[in-house]
Structure 1
Amino acid sequence: MGVGKGWEHVVLKLLRGKDFVFTVTGAEDVTDHYRRVRMSDGGLLAAVGGALHPTMWVRLWFQDGGRPHQRAYTLVDPDTAAGTFSLEFALHDGVASDWARAAEPGDTIEATVQGTGFTTPSPAPPRLLVIGDPASLPAINSLLDAHADVPATIWFETQHGSDEELPVRADAGRHELRRVPRDGSALVDRVRAELPELVGDPEQAYVWLACDAATTRTLTGFVRKELGLPKQRVNALGYWRAA
């Protein structure tokens, strides 16, 4: 029996959201604060077909004290032929992390696909300028995979010591990874100090940004208003809200 999803699901259905049921096939702890759950897709990948794209995400539905609760997660290494993918969870307190910690083969979870999209920057930028944290790591990796020949600089905010072990798919020959320990405005300060020298022509530059909502909002304003990047050269999304 499906979980009750409340008014949010009604709205998504009106917007032509498609529902699927995923089945857990395995899980592993990547670090003590990060867990990967492998899934069979319930027909999702075949249904989306050519619409599969880098950073593609789905909404998972959880029950929290009898109330529906949804969170979005990026597909990791989707395999259309096999009908499989993984989801990765930056663990903290909350119903989604609790589900991920307990997930084992045979468990199922309902999901809705609606609203996801990605436009490849054109013209291609000389360098990807990427800003994120563990919550957006799956999307960062899919972006790097999709633009394997493009150099990139990645500012990656970390919180735990074990975050140094997270699998950022940065190639030392093409990618520069700049880790920034989470400490107040440290990430904002670093990006404001270091990003301008890498932007070059604002019409050619491309910034991909996905952090907590407040940081994303601050840095988006900086990139658009102070560095002069056009709207279509900035992809920004707040992935979570600080408590």
Structure 2
Amino acid sequence: MAVGKGWEGVVLKLMRGKDFTFTVTRTEEVTEHYRRIHFTDGGLLAAAGGSPHPTMWVRVWFEGAGRPHQRAYTLVDPDPRAGTFALEFALHEGVASAWARAAEPGDTVDATVQGTGFTAPEPAPERLLVIGDAASLPAINSLLDAFPRTAATIWFETQHDSDAELPVRLDADRHELRRVARDGTALVDRVKAELPELVGDPSSAYVWLACDTATTRALTSYLRKDLALPRQRVNGLGYWRAGAGAGAPAA
């Protein structure tokens, strides 16, 4: 599906964004609100040096109301040798979800790579402190995969009953999942009540969070100002904005 990219595409090109075309190979209905779509990568992983980093994301282009829209999605299980990966869509109203619901093998979609990156925390944390929701689940899983021997506590905001079926890659010996139903500031309140006892030394703690922009902003401010975590020990991204749909990241 070739989509004109408008002024955003021009800006990304000036910022040396690289364009690729992905082809759908198969789809999976994970839940009624969550769909996984598998692709061939159009040369993306080879161009990235064949070594994708944790939380790696791409900007995918969709057409709606006669104009282009870009949403960002984290690569799921990228395989550089095969040139394949999947994207996972938390379904809601919007152009990306509409495309994902209708996608079939053979369909194509354009994407731009620009802005993605990940810096592993040094010193390595004894425990990952992770805060997210269905939109950031692929990134959460890639983070857990990247630190297979590190303990983790995950606060996971849910919206639907079926979110209990979402595939969080938990190791029962190392990982603790704390589900929080989406309800106003419930996630912010829960994290503020429970996270401080797990931080320990602020200079060696590590918090990774990716929620809606308002929640991410509130918690990032709290972690840095109230708990005194250094900038490099907090990785916060606003993955979606209310009314704009879920993607990764919103910035």
Verify same fold: TM over 0.5.
Answer: yes
Asked if 1:4 is matched to 2:7, the reply is no
Q: What is the match of residue 19 of structure 1?
A: 19
Moved more, 44-53 or 80-89: 44-53
Q: What is the match of residue 57 of structure 2?
A: 57
Asked if 1:240 is matched to 2:248, the reply is no
Asked if 1:123 is matched to 2:146, the reply is no
- Once the two structures are superposed, what CA deviation does each residue of 1:33-70 show, in whole Å capped at 9, x if it has no partner? 00000000000000001552000000000111110100
Q: What is the match of residue 247 of structure 2?
A: none
* One-letter amino acid of the counterpart of residue 33, structure 1: H
Does the 8 A contact of 2:50 with 2:80 survive in 1? no
* One-letter amino acid of the counterpart of residue 41, structure 1: D
- Once the two structures are superposed, what CA deviation does each residue of 1:180-210 show, in whole Å capped at 9, x if it has no partner? 0111111001000000000000000000000
Which 5+ residue runs of structure 1 have no aligned equivalent? none
Asked if 1:68 is matched to 2:68, the reply is yes
Does the 8 A contact of 2:51 with 2:80 survive in 1? no
Q: What is the match of residue 231 of structure 1?
A: 231
Residue 2 of structure 1 and its aligned partner are, at CA, apart by: 2.9
RMSD: 0.8
Asked if 1:89 is matched to 2:84, the reply is no
Residue 126 of structure 1 and its aligned partner are, at CA, apart by: 0.7
* One-letter amino acid of the counterpart of residue 99, structure 1: W
How many Å separate the matches in 2 of 1:213 and 1:99?
24
Which 5+ residue runs of structure 2 have no aligned equivalent? 244-251
Q: What is the match of residue 154 of structure 1?
A: 154
- Once the two structures are superposed, what CA deviation does each residue of 1:163-189 show, in whole Å capped at 9, x if it has no partner? 000000011100000000111111001
* One-letter amino acid of the counterpart of residue 139, structure 1: A
How many Å separate the matches in 1 of 2:149 and 2:51?
22
Matches within 5 A, 1:171-186: 171-186=171-186
3-state DSSP class of the match of 1:55? coil
Runs (4+) of structure 1 moved beyond 2 Å? none
- Once the two structures are superposed, what CA deviation does each residue of 1:71-120 show, in whole Å capped at 9, x if it has no partner? 00000000000000000000000010000001100000000000000000
3-state DSSP class of the match of 2:203? coil
